[in-house]
Amino acid sequence: MTKNLTLFDADTSTVEQSLNQHFADWVAFRQTSKSKARSERPLSEESANVYAEMWHAFAKFCAERDLALQEVTVTDLETFLTIRGSGPDAFRPRQTTRGPDLTARYANRYLVLIQKVTQFIAKREGIEANRAAATLRERPEYQYAEAADKDPPPEYLEEGQARSLISYLTRAPRPDSAEKFTWKTVRDRTAVALMLGAGLSPGDVRGLKLDGVITTGGKKAGVPWKLSVEGNGNSPSRETPIADWAGRQLAFWLKVRTQQSMPGNYVFPSTMKGTQWSHTRCFEASRDVMEDAKLGKDDGGLYKLRHTFALRQLRKGKSEADVARWLGFLDVSSMERYRRIVLNYQSAA
């Protein structure tokens, strides 16, 4: 489990420390739970990391207002969700927002997390649980946030945009350019390349291991053509193909990584020491690559790259079953949202 779940900064207030300890206790309970209930199963490391960043932002909000968990009201939660959607800063990653506000789906997930931790603490201490999050979730916009018909069509890159991004990601540094080109530049562009060229999610990128890069059996010696991606709480382990251009970019990054003598098994380490990229830093670095490529920071988020990969594969005639497997979907019915776009595209052609 990650180290940051129970560590507190020396300047952290008592309220914030208390709230973060509540969260750490809830995670510890989940990790040792033998329950088969989905709400009590052990968390994957990726899920725990994401929840930790979400909760720590909530704890910081409460600490600034000197609010204990039992004192939080519906109005407080409404204010928090509004602030959370108005970022960006280190505590307000906006990959799950559209425009100035959080999506109802992501806001609901915040409320679910707060409700779960609140109920856990109340049960442990034998007190009545604060119902603010539960009450807010009864509103229609949150109550039906996860409904299938509320699922918006995926945002994706038009073919011209995809080609422009590929050109940007794979271009060599220009001798006459003032552009700063470091190992991090190559790492960040290659990470984005695998989101577009192999359908990886940001979490997949962060967790990708060197022994998951497959070069044997490819068209060109030493050039990766397939990735073995570890499973997590949301998707199974899988193998996914890499587009030729993305494979060459990955080979270039691995060469740079070797030249820098980086230890560890992570393909995309955060530092020269080989430590894992954090959720927030990976998002920020990848988002900046998108902005530098003139595709905007927040328009559709990073998942539009994964969606574009799926649509490109379907348009090439790959089966829905194959693409679903490459993306790590457990149910092929998840491809329905892509099917509508492909059919419209074919009708317009």
For the chain, the C-alpha Rg in angstroms (whole number) is 21
Q: Give pLDDT, residue 95.
A: 36
> 114-157, pLDDT tens digit by residue?
999 999 999 999 999 999 999 998 887 777 666 544 556 788 99
Calpha distance 88→12 (Å, rounded)? 21
Mean pLDDT over the full length of the chain: 83
Q: Which domains does the chain have, with CATH numbers?
A: 3-150 (no CATH), 159-348 (1.10.443.10)
Residue 13 reports pLDDT greater than 80 = no
* 39 or 67, greater pLDDT: 67
Q: For the chain, give the longest Cα–Cα distance.
A: 68
Please give the backbone phi and psi of residue 204, each rounded to the nearest 5 degrees, phi first: -60, -45
* 198 or 300, greater pLDDT: 198
Percent of the residues in the chain that have a pLDDT greater than 90, as a whole number: 56
The two structure tokens encoding residue 307: 């969606």
Q: Give pLDDT, residue 233.
A: 56
Q: Give pLDDT, residue 153.
A: 74
Residue 281 reports pLDDT greater than 60 = yes
Residue 315 reports pLDDT greater than 70 = yes
Asked if residue 274 lies in contact with residue 282, where contact means CB atoms within 8 angstroms, the answer is no
Q: Give pLDDT, residue 173.
A: 75
Q: Give pLDDT, residue 151.
A: 57
Beta partners for 97? 102
E runs forming strands in the chain: 97-98, 101-102, 213-214, 226-229, 238-241
Q: Give pLDDT, residue 206.
A: 93
pLDDT band at 89 (very low <50, low <70, confident <90, very high): very low
> 19-60, pLDDT tens digit by residue?
999 999 999 999 888 776 777 788 877 678 778 888 988 999
Calpha distance 27→48 (Å, rounded)? 7
pLDDT band at 99 (very low <50, low <70, confident <90, very high): very low
